[in-house]
């Protein structure tokens, strides 16, 4: 079985028919069908069962148990092969993948400006991947990215996961409450974190804020809070508060909170920030920074693109005013 035949089988399995697979592959339907016929003959000879069975005009192919097993084997083969190719390209400095959240993209952008010309001359393939905060650790631990910029919840005891990583810290501080409630309902004095259960909150299911609440209230924090709206995206939560459709508070970073409170839009509900006083254990802060596996930096020489980019991030943090 050739790689091309395996690819054809995978596309047919995904699309259902030779015609739809041919459109995806940019081939004639007869070419796809010819490959399927060859695969079926070989499978019948080797295993005693074909891979696919026609079910009539207009109907999708039926994949036999042998066919399903072969599809899975082909999928794993491609994944392992591509993983090996990508690893070799990274080892040789031919490819670099950087993950960043929306709010930490400027960090990567400024560092890239310091090395972009060098990377172009060396023909380094540089990729930027959008990473949601909730996926930050999984992207690092599964080696989907070489370097990542984002925010995490930090406690005084430290995060054990950081032991294997080099970290460049850009900002550290307490979260804020952003609210559209008037002072008569919620005074501007700092709100103790132990009193958050009595405050109407707009809460995401996962991510930085969810991690912060779980640090204070445990994994079942929703059962101990007054949740007035569930959101999947911080922008939607901000829109909810500005519209006045939902009356309550959001836990946000200092930069987001102050930026939203400073906006002057007469058509929107006025927003203001309130400080949080952390009176629960463990004490928790929000930390924004860049993260890279220490073993990767040590594995490569100083001229490797990963070490060159890491040095550029270090240079940036020395010359740039840290995020507030």
Range of the domain at 12: 3-89
Rounded to whole angstroms, how far apart are CA atoms 172 and 286? 6
In terms of domains, do 159 and 301 share one? Answer: yes
**What pLDDT is attached to residue 171?**
87
In terms of domains, do 71 and 212 share one? Answer: no
In terms of domains, do 120 and 201 share one? Answer: no
In terms of domains, do 22 and 160 share one? Answer: no
**What pLDDT is attached to residue 323?**
47
pLDDT tens for each residue of 179-226: 999 999 999 999 999 999 999 999 998 889 999 999 999 989 999 999
- The total domain count for the chain is 3
In terms of domains, do 166 and 296 share one? Answer: yes
- For the domain that residue 228 is a member of, what is the CATH number? 3.40.190
The answer to whether residue 59 sits within a structural domain is yes
Decide which of 29, 59, 89 is a domain's last residue. 89
Decide which of 42, 58, 89 is a domain's last residue. 89
In terms of domains, do 292 and 167 share one? Answer: yes
The answer to whether residue 230 sits within a structural domain is yes
**What pLDDT is attached to residue 321?**
58
In terms of domains, do 217 and 237 share one? Answer: yes
**What pLDDT is attached to residue 158?**
65
**What pLDDT is attached to residue 22?**
93
In terms of domains, do 168 and 250 share one? Answer: no
The answer to whether residue 127 sits within a structural domain is yes
The answer to whether residue 324 sits within a structural domain is no
- Which positions of the chain have pLDDT values less than 50? 323-324
In terms of domains, do 255 and 222 share one? Answer: yes
**What pLDDT is attached to residue 324?**
44
In terms of domains, do 191 and 261 share one? Answer: yes
In terms of domains, do 164 and 210 share one? Answer: no
In terms of domains, do 189 and 270 share one? Answer: yes
Decide which of 22, 54, 89 is a domain's last residue. 89
What is this structure's pTM?
0.70
Q: Provide the b/e sequence for 184-219 (b: ≥16 CB within 10 Å).
A: eebeeeebebeebeebbbbbbeebbbbbbbbbbbee
């Amino acid at each position: 079985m050739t790689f091309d035949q395996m690819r054809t089988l995978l596309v047919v399995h995904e699309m259902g028919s030779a015609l739809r697979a041919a459109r995806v592959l940019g081939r004639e339907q007869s070419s796809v069908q010819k490959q399927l016929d060859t695969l079926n003959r070989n499978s019948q000879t080797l295993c005693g069962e074909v891979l696919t069975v026609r079910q009539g005009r207009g109907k999708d192919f039926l994949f036999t148990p042998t066919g399903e097993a072969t599809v899975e084997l082909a999928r794993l083969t491609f994944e392992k092969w591509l993983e090996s190719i990508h690893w070799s390209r990274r080892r040789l400095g031919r490819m670099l993948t950087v993950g960043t959240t929306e709010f930490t993209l400027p960090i990567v952008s400024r560092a890239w400006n310091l090395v972009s010309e060098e990377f172009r001359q060396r023909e380094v393939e540089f990729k930027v991947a959008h990473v949601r905060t909730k996926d930050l650790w999984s992207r690092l631990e599964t080696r989907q990215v070489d370097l990542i910029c984002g925010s995490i919840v930090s406690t005084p005891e430290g995060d054990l996961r950081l032991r294997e990583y080099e970290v460049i810290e850009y900002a550290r501080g307490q979260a804020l409450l952003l609210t559209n409630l008037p002072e008569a309902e919620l005074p501007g004095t700092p709100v103790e974190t132990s009193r958050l259960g009595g405050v109407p909150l707009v809460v995401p299911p996962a991510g930085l804020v969810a991690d912060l609440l779980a640090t204070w209230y445990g994994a079942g924090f929703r059962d101990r809070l007054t949740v007035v709206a569930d959101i999947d995206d911080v922008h939607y939560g901000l829109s909810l508060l500005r519209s006045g459709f939902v009356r309550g508070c959001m836990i946000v970073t200092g930069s987001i909170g102050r930026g939203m409170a400073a906006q002057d839009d007469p058509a929107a509900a006025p927003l203001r920030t309130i400080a949080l006083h952390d009176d629960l254990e463990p004490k928790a802060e929000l930390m924004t920074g860049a993260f890279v596996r220490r073993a990767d930096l040590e594995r490569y020489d100083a001229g490797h693109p990963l070490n060159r980019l890491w040095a550029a991030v270090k240079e940036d943090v020395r010359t740039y005013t840290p995020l507030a």
